[in-house]
Amino acid sequence: MIADRARQAAAAAALVGCLLAAHGTAAADAAAGARLSAARCASCHSSTETIHSTVPLLEGQPKAYFIAQWRAFRERKRTAPVMVNLAGELSEKDVADLAEHYAALAPPPAALASGSDTGRALADRLRCAACHGSALRGTHAGAARLAGQKVQYTTWSLQLMRSGTRSHGTAAKPDPLLADLSNAEIESLAAHLASLR
């Protein structure tokens, strides 16, 4: 009798699990993400025009990083007005679809980005690969892809992190790792990162 009840309880639990799965969040849809990207994101984020030089490329960003940034805008931990408004309009499903779409893409070739020994040495000294992955393409744990990112966007972001205006992972604000870097060093590092694929 106890065994029968245990089997019935297990069967009921399995049924509830199946029902929750059926009514829970659907799997991300890259095609839906592509449509949403074309309508809402690509005109700025996929652009390599000078006017968009401080808008990051999203191509190749890991899904966890993409979703974390959307949440930061939604919760106003990051404050770009356009993104705060857009983050409030997008559903969790929309963001999952966009993340799926962008994670499958590669950044476009950088027209003027050429790495330097100085930038490469800085990336090694700062141990960027320890958090951002051996090829600096980001991680499933949520670290950003640095390889192929726009030079001016990366330069601007690192300067914000150095000053403490923007967080750098779990580092203190301002980030002591970046505190002693000059603007010229930051630009060399950004150019090196942009040259990677």
Give residue 182's pLDDT: 97
Quick check: do 24-108 and 111-197 share a fold? yes
Give residue 111's pLDDT: 60
Give residue 116's pLDDT: 82
Give residue 169's pLDDT: 84
Distance (Å, whole) CA 32 – CA 17: 27
For the record, the structure tokens of 1 come out as 């009798």
**Chain centroid offset of residue 104 CA:** 13
Distance (Å, whole) CA 126 – CA 114: 19
Every domain of the chain and the residues it spans: 24-108, 111-197
DSSP letters for 117-170: HHHHHHHHHTTHHHHH-TTSS--TTSPPP-TT--HHHHHHHHHHHHHTSS--TT
23: burial class by Cβ within 10 Å (0-12, 13-18, 19+)? exposed
pLDDT values of the chain reduced to their tens digit, one per residue, 197 residues: 434 433 443 333 333 333 333 334 468 999 999 999 999 999 999 888 889 999 999 999 999 999 999 999 999 988 888 999 999 999 999 999 999 999 999 888 766 556 788 999 999 999 999 999 999 999 999 999 999 999 999 999 999 999 999 988 888 888 899 999 999 999 999 999 999 98
How many H helices and E strands in the chain?
10, 0
Domain 24-108: which topology?
Answer: Cytochrome Bc1 Complex; Chain D, domain 2 (1.10.760)
The type of residue at 152 is: Q
Give residue 173's pLDDT: 87
CATH, domain range 111-197: 1.10.760.10
